[in-house]
Every structure is written in structure tokens, then in C-alpha cells.
Structure 1
Amino acid sequence: MQVIVVGCGKVGRTIAAQLVNEDNDITVVDTNAERVDGISTIYDVMGVVGNATSFKTLSEAGIEHADMLVAVTQSDEVNLLCCVLAKKAGGCRTVARVRNPIYSAERNFLQEKLGVSMTINPEYEAALETSHLLRFPQASEVYSFAKRRTSLISFRVPEGCSLVGMPLRELSKRLSTNVLVCMARRGDDVIIPDGSFEAREGDILSIMAMPGVADEFFRRMGMQKDRVHNALLIGGGKVSFYLAQILDEVGIRSKIIEQDYKRCEELAELLPNATIIHGDGSDQEFLKEEHIETMDSMLAGTGIDEENIILSLYARDIIKYKVVTKLSHMEVNGVVKKLNLDAIVSPRTITAESIVRYVRATRNGMGSNVEVMYKMLDGRAEALEFKIKDDSVVTGVRLADMRLKRDVLVAGIFRDGNLIVPSGSDVIRSGDSVIVITTNIGFQDIHDILA
């Protein structure tokens, strides 16, 4: 596909890099010549220096022949205007990063009346991911599938866990739970396990299960934690604002600590059921005065990544169940992972993955049916959801009769509101949602899983 990416900041750079790796033709546009040159030098992309709200600049970028324009500048208004111009000039699909809560609330209007194909709000998506992590305090990552009705949950195997030394083929028999272990990370190795795989203490395992079943699994493993009843949100930015709204809907009380007094007043008006406190959330003595030890969970959500990491390291032995760290600018790389933070949310990464997922999905006319896509384990694995069509090559075929590529696992079949943990005798039907875990990167269609 021919894709124009407007905005060469960290998000635009990440999107361009991932789309190039998937054999798309990319043109980047930015008013900053140094940024354009930097991306053009490192990646195989065309660069255009100019304002993308100008038809002349869009023409130079090839809007007449583009399949999609992705606008991820710092300005919501610029992003939306670029999309409107692109729609009029080239008729291509358009994606806009929209962060202002006012615009986010008018998402349907923007898409229907302005012709924007997709809007993405990084802070709201980060808040939603954080709420999923609080739903499962044992988890380091939670990925949702089948319209959030089933989840892929990653967790570290604790000392003394009955999973240690148990061949996976015996898991269902011993526990009588409808759970599938889909992936394991052991040191730097990523493993798609078979029935003979035996977990070790410290492994990071990923299981596929519906929420109630996952609760039962963790209970039988002796890992069940009490439900989170309250959350301390340090920093009163957009992520905390959205998260407080989401938590209020599920009965979790929020306490927000914010340094800016005017912002505190705004939050108090917008969030009547949350407790808003004016103060420095990075001050450990202040946190003690606010009885941090009584909190079940915490989001370190200031605008400074380094501060969030330090806060999380301080709080992880004080907070009862879960500490989530927001990283907006830093790479979630090996150095950060060695800190063994409870859980990390990155609005930038979420935005890039959502847009790459949408690009794959829009290849529908070219044979693709990717509904959901997550990059896992530093991009070395992917979890994908495919919607099966009538004419699919896998329809009506028993799993045992399929010749799958190496390191491919059919992790779940979602049908009629239920998750089927697949066995060799199961058959994929038209209309099913099929969840695939693989270390083969870049699948576009369900038939890509076949050898």
C-alpha cells in the first residue's frame, strides 16, 4: 500500500518503521527538515518537507495515488484538516491522532461528517489498557480479543507455583479449566510451547482465557489476588483523567495527585466521584502523608518518564497489588525491562500498533481479514485475530489436518460468544474469530498460517 505519514515525531517515526517492514511504500511529511532527513536516511521512505495542510505539499507527497494518509502531528486540528484535504484530493482512507477529550467524544461525527476513516486517542487507549491490568493484578500484560470478550494474559511464574514442572498436556486434566498456554518467555528466548513444555519459576507465560475462567485459573494456581478497590493516580494528565472515568464505571475509587492547582480544579469538576489532591506526587514524604500503603494499585502517570520509573520502583513494595508505569517518550527496551516493573503502558506504542493493525485490516480487498493485532515481546511475536469468511481456505478443515508453519499456534476460536480452546478435532467455521500466536511477523491473512 502507498501510505503518507504526516508528522515525523516519535509516533510517526515508529509507524513509518513498522509499515516499511511490512512492504508498504511510505512517504513522510513534516515541516521540520531535520526530522524528515533523519527518517529518510534510516528507512527506505520518501521525505517531503512542508505543511501537510497545504494541497501543494500533499500533491508533492503523492496524495492522488495514496491508499491511506496517517496524520500524527502534535495538533489535533492539523491532523483533522490533513485528513479532510486528503479525502477531498485523493479519496484515500485517513487516520487521525486525536487527543483532546472534546474531539474524542465526537468521534462518530468526525468519521461520518468529515470522512475520517479512523481516529485514535493514545491517552484513552493507554487508560483502557491500564484498567485491564487492574482487572488482573497478577498480569504484566493483557491483550483483548473478540471485542474485549476474551483476553491473552501474560504473567510471571512465581516460586512454588504448581505449574512448575507440569507438562502442558496435563494442565487441562489437572485443573479442569478451559485455558491454553500460548507463549513462554525464558530469558531472551521466545517459545511457542507444545504439550511437552514444562514451565520453570521465573518464566513469563501467556494464557488465552475468558475473564471468569482466568480468575479461576489463577485461584487454582494459588496466584489469585483480591479485587482492586482503589487506585492512586500520580499526575493529572489525560491518561489519569480517562482512567478515573473508566474505573468509576466499574466501582474502583480513584485518588489523583496533581501539582498544578488549576488542573486540580478542572479535574474536581470533571470527576466528581474521584478524590483530587493538590501536591507533589514525586515527594515520598507527601505520599506517606496520603497513606500510600492503603492503596491497592497505582499509576505513575506524570509527564516525565524517568520520574514515573523511580516512583514505580519506590511504590512496588508498598502498593498492595499493582503498579503501572506510563512511558511516553522512552523506548520500552531491554534496559527498562530489566527493572522488573510490574506493568508498563506506552501511549506511543499503542498508537503505532493500532495504526499498523488498521493498515493490515484495510487490505481486505486484497485478501486480508486481520481484525486485531498486537506485537509482543519486543516485537518478536504477534497475536492476531482473523475473522473467517465463507471462501477461506481454512473453513471446514480440521485443525489436525492443517499443515501449519513452524512457531504458529491457533490459540482460540471464538464462536457464538464462547471461547473454544482448540484441539485437533476442532473445525474452523465461517464467521468464527480465530486467534493466532506466532513468531512469524507480518501475517496478512489467515492462509498465511499454512505451510
Structure 2
Amino acid sequence: MQIMIVGCGKVGYTLADQLSGEEDHNIIVVDRNPDRISRVTNDFDVMGYVGDGASYSVLKEADIDNTDLLIAVTDSDERNLLCSLIAKKAGNCKAIARVRNPIYSSEGEFLKRELGLAMIINPEYAAASEMARIFRFPSAIKIDTFAKGRIELLRFRIPVGNKLHDTPVSNIRGKLGCEVLVCMVQRGEEVFIPLGDFVLQEKDIVSIVAAPSRASQFFRKIGVETNRVPNVLIVGGGKITFYLALRLIHAGIDVKIIEQNRQRCEELSELLPKASIICGDGTDQNLLLEEGLEQIRGFAALTNFDEENILLSLFAKSKSKAKLVTKVNRISFDEVIENLGLDCIVYPKYITTEFIIQYVRSMQDSMGSNVENLYKLNDNRAEALEFLIKEESPVVGIPLEKLQLKKNILICGINRYGKIIIPGGQDKIKVGDSVIVVVTDYRIHDILDILED
């Protein structure tokens, strides 16, 4: 497949990285900045063109005629939409546009339909949605959803002294009486898809798959808090803050926002009349304490500076028992940041690329299945995918224990017309099922890819 990426900022660069590693893709990048093009073409096996992606002649030169998918992720919503429209008319290819302005947020479906776009993605809204899920379920580090929200994949760290310490994975259902499945464990820098004899240890980061009600029951039984936070203090008043505050207020959570820019404070006061808006420097420790940092139960560091966000969350950790959410845009020291113990780190660029790569995989539908959802896990060392089974195939009608699966692959959930199955060895996949698979060391595009050759 030939894919053209217009805009080589943070998201464009990450997409070039991810997609150039996928099989059988020819990647072309376009940007007005020659330094950006040089960086991307030096780092990855891609073709680069310097020019404005909203120009027909530039797209023509970059081979839009033979392009299957164009992804517009420049810093301008309007340029992204124009670029996508020109690509549709000139190359008759599918197009994805990044659109970030809240003005367009309620018009996304209209724009997608009327302009004939494959997808419109709003990174800030997507990031805010993930943060809101975390504040509603503070036990988790990260929550991904499948089967239209009927199945959740939750990551959490086993607390010191917790009853899961020294427990074999095979004992969890019997010991706790909970229908959950442990599908992945991160211990230090190693990632495991555990067998039944794998023994959990405190401080492990564990991923479980369960229906939402079963997940809540599981956390209660291991003595971990599941109730949503009653209040959240947010530092920074950008787009993510706006979307996050809307979601939290709708969920009945009290929201207080500290923002330095007075004009932005006035805008937020009009947009979010139910939130408390404080005009001040969110890095001022005294101000944070005066605004109740020690008593709040949720804290989000959402300034435009990664270093500030990390330090703010570390300070909040030292002064409160709040659930911490930290936005990181640029810093690439993922392992260092993960070891700071900051609960939940949100990378908007990764959330955006997940959605786009999911769509790219879905374009490669085979006759047997197609990708419905895709999430990158554990710093891209693993993937969780949801496949819709469209017709009879070698995975259908056979007990799971008899399927010849590749190593480091686990079938961890089945949605059968709304009935959620956490599978055992005797369960079978049927046509019409949505099947959730967790995998390390492979990239799979079809459900048949899980089988040994």
C-alpha cells in the first residue's frame, strides 16, 4: 500500500516510524520544512518531498495518483482539510485529516461525510477521553475499550503487600471468584504473555481483560479503590483541558482549572460555567496548596511544557494521594518517565497514531476478518487487536486449546452479539464474533496470522 503523510511534526514523524515498520507499505512524506524532511528520511525508509501539501502540483509530484491513503497532520486544520479534499479529487485515494479546533469538534461527522473523508481525528479529544476514563476508574494506569465498551483492557500496578503477590495466574479466578483474564505482565523492562504457572509479584504492571462490571469486582476483591474521583485539579487551560473538563463535569466530578493567561481564563469561564477557573501560575507551589492540592483526589498536568508537567505531577505526588495524569508531547525518554511512578502518562501523538494505524490495518482486510480496534501496549512492544470474524476459516469452530497458535499470542476475549466471553480452552470462535488478541513480537493483520504456518 502507498501511504502519503503530509506534515512531519510530532505526529507525522511518529506515523512515519510506525508505518515504515509495517509490511509492504511505501511511505511518502511531504512537508514545507526541508529540515523536517531530512530528519524523517534519514531516520526511516521513506521518500520525502519538500512543499505545501495543500498544493495540487506538489501532491502530483509526490505521486498522489498512485497513493492509496493520504494522512494530513500539519499544524493547520484548514490545510489538513484542503489537502485531503485535493487528494480525494486528484488521486481518488482515501484521506484522513487531523482536526483539532474545538469549533469543528461538533462538526466532525458533517465534514467527514460531505468531504468524503475516511477519518477525522482530534488528538486532544482522544487524549481527554482516555484521561476521563482514568479518573472514573482510578485503579488503572490505562484503559482501552473493545466491543463498543463492553470489554476493557486495564493496566495497573500491583501494590506492595497486595494479595496478588506470589499468586500464580492460574489461581486468580478460583482465589477471587472473578471472571478476568491476565493477558500481559510487565516486570522491569521485560514484557510477558503469561502462562498459568506465571507467578505475579508486587510492582508488576499487569494487563487484564474483563467486562467493566467484572473489572470493578476484581479490583474491590484485591483491595484496590474503584470509585471515581470526586474532584480534579487541572493545571493548564489548553484544548485537552477543555475537552477533559467537559467529560468530567458531565460525569458529576468537580473541576478546578489553573491557567496563567487571563484571556484564556475568560474564555474557559464562558465555555465551562460549572468549572472553577483560577488565573495564576500553576507552577507556583503556594498557589497549588492554597487551591487544595493536598485534599484533591485527581490531578492533571496539562501545560504545553513536558518538563513542567512531570515536575508538577511529582510535586502533587509528594503532597497528596491524588490520581495523577501527566501529558507528555515531546520527551522520548519513555523508560525514565515510566520509572518515576507518575500513575498515568498520556502521549497524544501515540493515541493519534493508534487510530490511524488501526484504519490502515483495516484497509488490508482479508476475506476472513478485519481489524476493528488496535492499541499499542507497553511502549509499542505489544499490541491488542479486535477482529471481526466475517466467514468460516481455520480458527472457527475449533476449541481454543487445539488451535496451533504462534508463541506470544493470547486470545483473551470474545464478544458474541453482546455476550462477553472470557475464553477458556474449550471455547470456540464463531462467525460473527469479535475476537480480542494480545500479541508481542509480531504484527498481525488478519485473524489467520495468529496460527502457526
Say yes or no: TM over 0.5. Answer: yes
Over residues 12-56 of structure 1, what are the superposed CA-to-partner deviations in whole Å (9 max), with x where a residue is unaligned?
A: 011011111002100000111121122112211111111111111
Structure 1: unaligned runs, 5 residues or longer: none
Equivalent position SS for 1:158: coil
Q: Give the C-alpha shift of residue 2 in structure 1.
A: 0.2
Matches within 5 A, 1:138-177: 138-177=139-178
Q: Give the C-alpha shift of residue 252 in structure 1.
A: 0.9
Match of 1:259 in 2: 260
Contact 1:405-1:449 at 8 Å conserved across structures: yes
- Residue identity in the other structure for 2:421: I
Inter-partner Cα distance in structure 2 for 1:114 and 1:408 = 39
- Residue identity in the other structure for 1:3: I
- Residue identity in the other structure for 2:18: Q
Q: Give the C-alpha shift of residue 368 in structure 1.
A: 5.5
Contact 1:325-1:341 at 8 Å conserved across structures: yes
Inter-partner Cα distance in structure 1 for 2:376 and 2:259 = 33
- Residue identity in the other structure for 2:384: A
Match of 1:12 in 2: 12
State the superposition RMSD in angstroms: 1.3
Over residues 166-217 of structure 1, what are the superposed CA-to-partner deviations in whole Å (9 max), with x where a residue is unaligned?
A: 2221211121111001100111111110111110111111111122211111
Inter-partner Cα distance in structure 1 for 2:390 and 2:368 = 10
Matches within 5 A, 1:45-444: 45-331=46-332, 333-364=334-365, 369-444=370-445
- Which shifted more, 66-75 or 397-406? 397-406
Inter-partner Cα distance in structure 2 for 1:232 and 1:431 = 44
Inter-partner Cα distance in structure 1 for 2:149 and 2:176 = 25
Contact 2:334-2:379 at 8 Å conserved across structures: yes
Equivalent position SS for 1:316: helix
Over residues 384-431 of structure 1, what are the superposed CA-to-partner deviations in whole Å (9 max), with x where a residue is unaligned?
A: 111111233322222122100001000111123232111111111112
Q: Give the C-alpha shift of residue 145 in structure 1.
A: 1.1
User: Cα distance 1:420–1:387, how it changes in 2: closer, same or farther (>3 A)?
Assistant: same
- Residue identity in the other structure for 2:9: G
Inter-partner Cα distance in structure 2 for 1:77 and 1:41 = 29
Equivalent position SS for 1:94: strand
Inter-partner Cα distance in structure 1 for 2:414 and 2:37 = 43
Q: Give the C-alpha shift of residue 144 in structure 1.
A: 1.3
Inter-partner Cα distance in structure 1 for 2:395 and 2:33 = 48
Residue identity over aligned pairs, in percent, reads: 51
Contact 1:244-1:274 at 8 Å conserved across structures: yes
Contact 1:380-1:441 at 8 Å conserved across structures: no
Inter-partner Cα distance in structure 2 for 1:374 and 1:227 = 24
1:2 aligns with 2:2: yes
Equivalent position SS for 1:286: helix
Inter-partner Cα distance in structure 2 for 1:131 and 1:347 = 14
Inter-partner Cα distance in structure 2 for 1:390 and 1:274 = 50
Inter-partner Cα distance in structure 2 for 1:165 and 1:320 = 26
Inter-partner Cα distance in structure 1 for 2:171 and 2:353 = 38
Equivalent position SS for 1:288: helix
- Residue identity in the other structure for 1:240: T
Equivalent position SS for 1:437: strand
Q: Give the C-alpha shift of residue 317 in structure 1.
A: 3.4
Contact 2:167-2:201 at 8 Å conserved across structures: no
Inter-partner Cα distance in structure 2 for 1:151 and 1:312 = 26
Q: How many residues align?
A: 451
Contact 2:369-2:391 at 8 Å conserved across structures: no
Contact 1:134-1:297 at 8 Å conserved across structures: yes
Contact 1:292-1:318 at 8 Å conserved across structures: yes
Contact 1:382-1:440 at 8 Å conserved across structures: no
User: Cα distance 1:78–1:309, how it changes in 2: closer, same or farther (>3 A)?
Assistant: same
- Residue identity in the other structure for 2:308: E
Over residues 303-330 of structure 1, what are the superposed CA-to-partner deviations in whole Å (9 max), with x where a residue is unaligned?
A: 1110000000000133334010011222
Contact 1:298-1:319 at 8 Å conserved across structures: no
Q: Give the C-alpha shift of residue 376 in structure 1.
A: 1.0
Structure 2: unaligned runs, 5 residues or longer: none
Contact 2:412-2:422 at 8 Å conserved across structures: yes
Inter-partner Cα distance in structure 1 for 2:414 and 2:182 = 14
Contact 1:370-1:444 at 8 Å conserved across structures: yes
- Residue identity in the other structure for 2:6: V
Contact 2:413-2:421 at 8 Å conserved across structures: yes
Equivalent position SS for 1:294: coil
Inter-partner Cα distance in structure 2 for 1:141 and 1:399 = 28
Q: Give the C-alpha shift of residue 367 in structure 1.
A: 6.1
Q: Give the C-alpha shift of residue 225 in structure 1.
A: 4.5
Q: Give the C-alpha shift of residue 291 in structure 1.
A: 1.3
Contact 1:267-1:276 at 8 Å conserved across structures: yes
Contact 1:5-1:26 at 8 Å conserved across structures: yes
Inter-partner Cα distance in structure 1 for 2:309 and 2:437 = 34
